[in-house]
Structure 1
Amino acid sequence: MMDKKIIVNMQEEKEPLGDLFGIFFEDLNHAADGGLYAEMVQNRSFEFDPMDNKEYHSLYGWEKVKRGNAEVILSIDTLEPYSEKNPHYLVIDVTKPGKGAGVLNLGYNSGFAVKEGEVYLFSCYAKSMSGKPEEFRVALEGKDGCEYAGLILQGGTAGWEKQEGRLVSSKTDTSARLVLTMPQKGRLALDFVSLFPEDTFMGRRNGMRKDIALKLKDMKPKFMRFPGGCLVHDGSLNPEDRNSMYRWKNTIGPVEERPARRNSWGYNQSLGLGFFEYFQFCEDIGAKPLPVLPGGYDPHHQRIVPLNELQPWIQDALDLIEFANGTPESEWGGIRARMGHEAPFGLEYIGIGNEEVGDAFFERYPFFHRAVREKYPEIKIIGTAGPFSAGSEYEKGWKCAKEYGSDLVDEHYYHTPEWFLANHHRYDNFRAQDPKVFLGEYASWGNTWYNALAEASFMLGLERNAKAVGLACYAPMLANVDYVNWKPDMLWFDNHRIYGSPDYYVQKLFMNHQGSRRLEIYTEGLEAPGIEEEPICGGIRLQGYHSEVIFRDVVLENSKTGEKVSFGDYHLKKEEASVWLADTEWKDYTISCRAEELDGFQGFQIFFGWQDEDNNYSWTVGGWQNYDLLLSRRIRGLCSDLTQSLIRVSKGQEYSLKLQVSGRMVRAWVDGRLCAETEDKPVVTEPLYYGASRDEADQTVILKMVNMQEQGVSAHIIMKGMCGSRVQGTVYTMQADLAAENDFAKPERVAPQEEVFYKENESFMYEFPKFSLTVFRLKEI
């Protein structure tokens, strides 16, 4: 048997790895308010509204306080507010003081997490409504009313005045309340009631929650993409609307002047964490800023800026670059300087659009591209290829980027771990002279060690193809455990704890040990096994996808022999899940029918290759908002959309459908037009996944190995062309049961183990444990 060898050619340097691995921030799962943004008060400006969430109202997160025989009326007013952009404020009318009357805030999660001896900075705007000064008490209390800290402030009669004070907690409690009470009869108006820990990340006012920020800084990301995500482009075209698209100019300046915004993930977004704070945070953690702006098109609701009204949107992009990079003497650079950052932020990248599909975006993108390229030729411009890994809209994105010379193309996809293993070589044939790939959102469905390990194997493919892949970031990044919109997520937290998923530790290892330039690495005796590709066969069934549908003249035909089975017509009402047709072992077959949607909103589906509810293939015609055509595969209940195109399914219109399966190739026609074509690549588990690089800063050599097999793999590692006679450094190993996950009880159940490494010569044997990731960081001595 041939010896298994891994040869690292120390003298053969390849492409620079540049800014390959970074992070992605989107305010979903309460990632900002109630998360990274350290503000502890929820609904601090009384601006929560049913438009944000049907359960919201102006006093959401607040409760009345009546102690003893106190009587108090709470009301919301908008007459002469502190800020016209946030017009609502609270009026406390104490008619009988008792032992204290007022209001308390519930904070996020279980309440305010406070620590004994820690300082908390309170502020608010207050004014007396009674014609005389009104004293009020601010306190941190437990749920039982026990006071941990308190101070006395006063609302004057001269109008709105900012009141501030320090609260030092005498107790540690994760369910505290912020309580504001008046000891006397009177009327007091309050707005922008705020509480921050003094100990924010970097000690910044209006700053970041320290434990979350440190977890991100520890990753040493090369860049951070922000502010999203779908919230970039989902909303009204009018920047003054509460449900507007994310417009960056609304997010700068005094926080009191930043308008309340509906977050497209179903909650309120205070914008306290705005573009200035994003840029500042990127600088603080050593990551390059990568902002993404809307392109004048909301694909979710088909809101489209007319071409003759596009200039203000283009100007927003140009002004953002000036805000980031302009001198203090420039208009927008001056605004940045007055906010406290005189030096430029050094912006290098800008993205236009996020997951856009449809011709409207690709008609508008060139206007942004040309304007930015003309005024700021040094800025790298990023286009978009939609939310799927293949299909017509993906291809439009790439065609547009190549035509106009985008520097990068933003690809997004979420798939099963098996898809990532099957597509390890996805970028091998991408050309260096084309725009580079920005893999701006990706993850496998789940946060187990199996998910993280499959992602690690895929990331080695990204490194190997650095000639074509410029940037990549896992998504989403943050999730508050009590406000989950989406999962999986990289970091999970509540109001006082945080833990990293196995995916977090994989990402951290790759970022900490990226290296600056790739080294040649190859193997002997570790070739991937050949496998016989199994065809897609199994059960066939029809389904209305949340719709009432009719299937007519349903026929299954053997494409090789011509044998046909006719099934006739089926009328499926919404409450009827599906109808079973047949189970076939044919390798080449065609399913044809005519279909009509009578009622509903997501068209119809044909299932094939059906093994059970959790393992099957599907062809969806209609899909989201009756707009998508998808070929998908489900494994263990997790879905990979293999290819996507656009189709508008109209009620009452009949469509001629044909689905052809040949081995692992699938093609789909609607009304005689080929609409989708894909190959479901089989999973081939390679003996080892590997990569090598050099960090030119300290001249260390970095080796990464992923073993996806059920047994350890021993190999002879040869450091070819090494100048010294010995190597020493550190080896990091991650290994666990495939189903293992981290949680609050065991936050490092799956985490790297670190050991000193030393060998006397340029070659050595090493056994890579089963289901493991191994990273060497070595120096020649």
Structure 2
Amino acid sequence: MKDTKLTVTNELTAPLNDLFGIFFEDINHAADGGLYAEMVQNRSFEFAPIDNSDYQATTAWELSDPQSLRVADKDPLNTKNLHYLTVDAKQTATITNAGFNSGMFYQQGEQYNFSFFVKALNGTQEVTVQLTGDSGKKIAAPQSITVESHQWLKYSAQFTAEQTTTTGRLVLTFPEGTRILVDMISLFPKNTFNHRPNYVRADLGETLKDLHPKFLRFPGGCLVHDGQLDPDNRGAMYRWKNSIGPVEQRPARRNNWGYNQTLGLGYFEYFELSEDIGAEPLPVLPGAHDPHHDREAPIAQLGDWIDDALDLIEFANGSENSKWGKVRVALGHPKPFNLKYLAIGNEEVGQAFFDRYPYFHKAIKAKYPNIKLINTSGPFAAGAEFERGWKSARENHSDLVDEHYYTAPTWFLANQHRYDSYDPKGPKAFIGEYASKKNQWYNAVVEASYMTGLERNADKVGLACYAPLFCNVDYKDWTPDLIFFNQSEVSPSVNYYVQQLFMKYQGTNNVDYHLANVPEAKVIDDGPLNDGLSPQADGTDVKFENIRLTANGQTKQFKGQSLSEKQTIRVGSTDADDYEVAFDVTKVGDEPKGAHFCFGEQDLDDTFTWVLGGWGNTDSMIRTMTNGMDTDWTQTSWTMNKNQTYHCQIKVSGRHITTWIDGEKMNEIEIPPFVVQPMYTNLTYDKKASQYYFKAVNVTDKQQEITLDTDLFADGSLYQLTGLPDAENHLGMTNQIERRNVPFSGHQFILPPYSVSVLMSTKQFRTQ
């Protein structure tokens, strides 16, 4: 076999611009108890059952004497922060807060800034503040704070830790006879990222900066549009104006991931963070539509929502003489943030959003024509809602369209050329959320292979970011994630290092090149979708009847099944390449769930499934399970009503799947073959660094080689990531893959099994 040979024509092609960035959403306690450096949980006594059914106003606090210590709302600090603690000490009383995880992290020699708001009710009062371990052991010298104002007033103190602990406590002691009101009890490490007040953890901020992201998408995610329409409602959608200004005046809000969101980390802090890590800010605003609860503002009442978008742009970019520019200046940032991107909506489904989007688009473009507006195409990689979003984007001339997909590695391998056929003259794709289901090295390598395709299609793909970004290991809502942490440690996932490689060595332009004599691709799966047939309940009671298989000119009837919970019964199988399955299904349970019908089933970890009433009984989807990892290939909005019988049909022709319900076509998809190329590559040039970057990914278990028919990389360097397919970083075990940065010379480029590599040239100045 001839050597695989790289030839470089050296012509610069598509610019990569801000291609690779990051996405922050407060999921997995990514903000409160995470990136946001506040150490006190429930600092303002605003936790409530609307956040979580287990929450109450004193959640996370230990009260020594409930008779002396009660939460009230008659004399609040302000109208946005209604609850506070009343202290009427019949005897010496204490309140204790352990923060998040197993306790607060105090590090010997580090300083901590304490503050609280207090209103005295009868003369001068004394409050003792202590930092302790979980057993009460002193961590820092106690401090006594004298309270004498009969108006709400902020008091502060600073502590220096004398010991290190991860089970720390904050303790406030009130002597007998104390009568005061207390609110906004806060403790921050003095050493925050870039030493800003009310800011982010230094270690997590540095971990983000080390990625070298080109943009930061924030603040979500589903939490942006999940909520009530009234901005003053405790369960409102995320409205950016609620998240700026003094933290004590920011209203707490329900986080749809099942906990409280203080909004201490708000829009001003997100803009600052973008600036501090060298990323373009990319805010996401709600489009007056909540697809989770089918609520939307009437079109005639969109004015306030559109004004929110226009005011945000003025806040970010306006002069110091503009209304919202003045607000930014007053917050401490005289210079504009130079906002370039703005997204309206997130994972929107249903016509209601797309009826409203044009009003936002026209108003924003009329006043700010240079802002790049991002439309949405729902939470699926294909299907009716996906097409609805792209249709809206083309009709409204959106600059980008937000695509989301979380799939098994096989989907990424099968879709390496997904964007080859996109129109370079139309809106660009923004892959706003993606991941391949696990945090193992094989998944990361497959993601790297896909990212080379995103680079190659930079004329059609504008932006891309892995998701989610953060996970506090004691509060997991979603996996996989890019960065894991607790109160004292940080563990970047193996996927993190792939993202870092592509961001740091992205380059500014693609370069034309050619690979000759590339070995043949290996086909993992290109066969027919046949094998077992299994009806399945999906968390509610369902009844299957009249199950029929037609294959090879014959029809076979199977026994009906009544199923509950996640019950599955295999009723038959087929070895035909082309076949049809028909059945009647009735939902008899009350839960907001539906039913599944598995076909081509080898076992429950490897099967094709028609999902009827997925995602909370809102969708009809075609799903695959591959090695226990699911992928939703296509989707149509559909709901299964209780006690209504549906006549369903699946037609399989080779790898083509079509479904109907009551004669109406629901889903249609061609499952592409799962193919592994021996290598995935791309070549870029960085005009700022005057360097070439040649990236090469090997997802196979065999070493690959490339002969370089160019001197571009003579006396260059090589950065290479290698590891076992199941390697996975954990807290305390953060180096499960090998990262090599070594000099490179010669013309033989070796790609070890399961590796991600980048060759870097020395400085090569170009006139072009």
Q: Counterpart in 2 of 1:686? A: 677
Partner-residue secondary structure (3-state), 2:541: strand
Q: Counterpart in 2 of 1:732? A: 719
Partner-residue secondary structure (3-state), 2:89: strand
Confirm or deny that 1:567 pairs with 2:558: yes
Partner-residue secondary structure (3-state), 1:727: coil
Deviation at 1:72, TM superposition (A): 6.7
Q: Counterpart in 1 of 2:475? A: 483
Confirm or deny that 1:589 pairs with 2:587: no
Q: What is the alpha-carbon distance in structure 2 between the residues aligned to residue 78 and residue 529 of structure 1?
A: 68
Partner-residue secondary structure (3-state), 2:392: helix
Confirm or deny that 1:96 pairs with 2:91: yes
Q: Counterpart in 2 of 1:51? A: 50
Q: What is the alpha-carbon distance in structure 2 between the residues aligned to residue 775 and residue 224 of structure 1?
A: 24
Partner-residue secondary structure (3-state), 1:148: coil
Q: Counterpart in 1 of 2:441? A: 449
**CA RMSD in angstroms, aligned pairs only:** 1.5
- For 1:243-392, list aligned pairs within 5 A: 243-392=235-384
Q: Counterpart in 2 of 1:6? A: 6
Q: What is the alpha-carbon distance in structure 2 between the residues aligned to residue 414 and residue 625 of structure 1?
A: 17
Q: What is the alpha-carbon distance in structure 2 between the residues aligned to residue 735 and residue 698 of structure 1?
A: 26
Query: What letter is aligned with 2:751?
Result: F
Q: Counterpart in 1 of 2:37? A: 38
Q: What is the alpha-carbon distance in structure 2 between the residues aligned to residue 283 and residue 751 of structure 1?
A: 31
CA contact (8 A) 1:65 1:181 kept: no
Deviation at 1:7, TM superposition (A): 2.1
Q: Counterpart in 2 of 1:494? A: 486
Deviation at 1:674, TM superposition (A): 1.6
Deviation at 1:157, TM superposition (A): 3.8
Deviation at 1:613, TM superposition (A): 1.5
Confirm or deny that 1:553 pairs with 2:546: yes
Deviation at 1:218, TM superposition (A): 0.7
Partner-residue secondary structure (3-state), 1:95: coil
Deviations 1:92-148 (A, max 9, x none): 222223xxx32111111111101111110011101222x111111111111221212
Q: Counterpart in 1 of 2:702? A: 711
Partner-residue secondary structure (3-state), 1:163: strand
Partner-residue secondary structure (3-state), 1:684: strand
Deviation at 1:556, TM superposition (A): 0.6
Query: What letter is aligned with 2:263?
Result: L
Partner-residue secondary structure (3-state), 1:779: coil
Identify which of 601, 606, 611 aligns with 1:615.
606
Deviation at 1:543, TM superposition (A): 2.0
- For 1:648-667, list aligned pairs within 5 A: 648-667=639-658
Farther-moved stretch of structure 1 (645-654 vs 213-222): 645-654
Farther-moved stretch of structure 1 (300-309 vs 651-660): 651-660
Deviations 1:51-91 (A, max 9, x none): 1011111111111247xxxx972111112211121111112
Using the aligned pairs only, state the percent identity.
45
Confirm or deny that 1:777 pairs with 2:760: yes
| Change in 2 beyond 3 A, CA 1:667/1:197 | same
Q: Counterpart in 1 of 2:101? A: 109
Deviation at 1:727, TM superposition (A): 2.3
Deviation at 1:389, TM superposition (A): 0.3
Q: Counterpart in 1 of 2:532? A: 539
Deviations 1:699-722 (A, max 9, x none): 1110110011111012201227x5
Q: What is the alpha-carbon distance in structure 2 between the residues aligned to residue 594 and residue 109 of structure 1?
A: 49
CA contact (8 A) 2:288 2:297 kept: yes
Deviation at 1:18, TM superposition (A): 0.4
Query: What letter is aligned with 2:69?
Result: L
Confirm or deny that 1:404 pairs with 2:403: no
For this pair of structures, how many residues does the alignment match?
Answer: 761
Query: What letter is aligned with 1:302?
Result: D
Q: What is the alpha-carbon distance in structure 2 between the residues aligned to residue 751 and residue 195 of structure 1?
A: 38
Deviation at 1:765, TM superposition (A): 1.1
Farther-moved stretch of structure 1 (472-481 vs 517-526): 517-526
- For 1:175-254, list aligned pairs within 5 A: 175-254=167-246
Q: Counterpart in 1 of 2:686? A: 695
- For 1:408-487, list aligned pairs within 5 A: 408-487=400-479
Q: What is the alpha-carbon distance in structure 2 between the residues aligned to residue 155 and residue 260 of structure 1?
A: 26
Q: Counterpart in 2 of 1:765? A: 748
Q: TM-score, normalised to structure 2's length?
A: 0.97
Q: What is the alpha-carbon distance in structure 1 between the residues aligned to residue 565 and residue 45 of structure 2?
A: 42
Deviations 1:658-677 (A, max 9, x none): 10111111111112122111
CA contact (8 A) 1:729 1:778 kept: yes
CA contact (8 A) 1:4 1:523 kept: yes
Identify which of 609, 619, 623 aligns with 1:628.
619
Q: What is the alpha-carbon distance in structure 2 between the residues aligned to residue 125 and residue 315 of structure 1?
A: 34
Q: Counterpart in 2 of 1:598? A: 588
Query: What letter is aligned with 1:22?
Result: G
Partner-residue secondary structure (3-state), 2:48: coil
Query: Unaligned stretches of 5+ in structure 1?
Result: none
Q: What is the alpha-carbon distance in structure 2 between the residues aligned to residue 413 and residue 306 of structure 1?
A: 30
Partner-residue secondary structure (3-state), 1:336: helix
Farther-moved stretch of structure 1 (163-172 vs 599-608): 599-608
Q: What is the alpha-carbon distance in structure 1 between the residues aligned to residue 351 and residue 250 of structure 2?
A: 33
Identify which of 552, 563, 570 aligns with 1:580.
570
CA contact (8 A) 1:502 1:751 kept: no
Partner-residue secondary structure (3-state), 1:12: strand
Q: What is the alpha-carbon distance in structure 2 between the residues aligned to residue 431 and residue 719 of structure 1?
A: 32
Query: What letter is aligned with 2:761?
Result: L
Deviation at 1:411, TM superposition (A): 0.1
Q: What is the alpha-carbon distance in structure 2 between the residues aligned to residue 576 and residue 146 of structure 1?
A: 49
Partner-residue secondary structure (3-state), 1:132: coil
Query: What letter is aligned with 1:79?
Result: K
Deviations 1:345-393 (A, max 9, x none): 0000000000000011111111111111111000000000000000000
Q: What is the alpha-carbon distance in structure 2 between the residues aligned to residue 533 and residue 123 of structure 1?
A: 63
Query: What letter is aligned with 2:5?
Result: K
Q: What is the alpha-carbon distance in structure 2 between the residues aligned to residue 157 and residue 403 of structure 1?
A: 61
CA contact (8 A) 2:4 2:519 kept: no
Partner-residue secondary structure (3-state), 2:229: coil
Query: What letter is aligned with 1:46?
Result: F
Deviations 1:442-485 (A, max 9, x none): 00101000110010000001001101000000000000001111
Query: What letter is aligned with 1:4?
Result: T
Farther-moved stretch of structure 1 (589-598 vs 631-640): 589-598
| Change in 2 beyond 3 A, CA 1:480/1:575 | closer
Deviation at 1:258, TM superposition (A): 0.5
Deviation at 1:780, TM superposition (A): 5.6
- For 1:13-92, list aligned pairs within 5 A: 13-65=12-64, 73-92=68-87
Q: Counterpart in 2 of 1:136? A: 127
Identify which of 384, 387, 392 aligns with 1:395.
387
Q: TM-score, normalised to structure 1's length?
A: 0.95
CA contact (8 A) 1:628 1:645 kept: yes
CA contact (8 A) 1:572 1:578 kept: no
Farther-moved stretch of structure 1 (157-166 vs 492-501): 157-166
Q: Counterpart in 2 of 1:165? A: 157
CA contact (8 A) 2:539 2:566 kept: no
Deviation at 1:769, TM superposition (A): 0.4
Query: What letter is aligned with 1:574?
Result: S
Deviation at 1:620, TM superposition (A): 1.2
Identify which of 646, 657, 668 aligns with 2:659.
668
Partner-residue secondary structure (3-state), 1:578: coil
Q: What is the alpha-carbon distance in structure 2 between the residues aligned to residue 184 and residue 48 of structure 1?
A: 27
CA contact (8 A) 2:558 2:572 kept: no
Identify which of 110, 113, 117 aligns with 1:118.
110
CA contact (8 A) 2:526 2:674 kept: no
Deviations 1:565-610 (A, max 9, x none): 1225x24142571332212110000001222222233222211011
Farther-moved stretch of structure 1 (351-360 vs 152-161): 152-161
